[in-house]
Amino acid sequence: MYKRVIDFLCCPRCMGENFSLLIYSITRDDIQEGVVTCQSCNLWFRIENGILDLLPLHLRRNDRYEAFSKKHHLPYQSGIAEPAGIMDQKIGSKESVFFTYAGGGLLITLVMLFSRGGHLSTWQNAPWYSFTAGALGLVIVGAIGYTVPRLGMAKAFTLIVASQLVMAILFDQFGLLGAPIRTLGVSRLFGLALTILGVWLVLG
């Protein structure tokens, strides 16, 4: 691929036109191996054997991209968590969360109708704070949809999992929302420090 080609590219996901170029191997002006990254949505595309692979995620050969990402220590991008990211880019974060939960809500409604309501009549036995799970889920789904297209899957899920771990430790330490108190010992503190170190290494 010639360097000047980058001026004519359009991202298949967000339709962005600004790209960065990282070159691993070049013969004269012909790039043999490298990476082109969209500056709008952070999606990267491999250049291998002089050919730029500009296919969207759902059409890619994931095995080739996985091998390429390992070879050059790049964040592996697959189509597993892409639907939320694609909706976020195309229609917005709030709208993406709405359609995600609306689809899930419709599905579980059909399941409950098929099972004749299940045990919904016993809802009063659950403590009030247990009903905040849906709102917390909205935050998580929204965070995934917002961060994955901007940071890549590895960085996004590292931040999300680390945040959940920190919150879980706080819940255990102070017995929040009825959780049994489990104080933060030396071993758990050491594990938390290692987690923070891991986050720093992944994001670095």
The total number of residues shown for the chain amounts to 204
Residues 46 and 89 in one domain: no
CB 10 within 8 A of CB 4: no
Residues 20 and 40 in one domain: yes
CB 31 within 8 A of CB 2: yes
Residues 62 and 153 in one domain: no
Residues 87 and 51 in one domain: no
Q: What is the number of domains present in the chain?
A: 2
Which pLDDT does position 35 carry in this prediction? 93
Matching residue, tokens 């000047």? 4
- Please report whether residue 77 resides in a domain: no
Point out the residues of the chain with pLDDT beneath 50: 80
Residues 86 and 61 in one domain: no
Which pLDDT does position 31 carry in this prediction? 93
Read off the DSSP letter of residue 14: T
Centre a 10 Å sphere on the Cβ of residue 44 and count the other Cβ atoms it contains. 20
Angstrom distances, CA of residue 93 to CA of 17, 135, 156, 160, 199: 22, 15, 15, 16, 24
Q: Determine the structural domain holding residue 60 and report its residue range.
A: 3-72
Residues 100 and 39 in one domain: no
Residues 126 and 186 in one domain: yes
Global confidence as pTM: 0.51
Residues 24 and 107 in one domain: no
Residues 158 and 94 in one domain: yes
In the chain, what are the helix, strand and coil shares in percent, each to the nearest 5?
Answer: 60, 15, 25
DSSP for 156-188, written as a single string: HHHHHHHHHHHHHHHHHHHTGGGPPP----HHH
Residues 68 and 86 in one domain: no
| CA atoms of 26 and 50, how far apart (whole Å) | 9
Residues 86 and 149 in one domain: yes
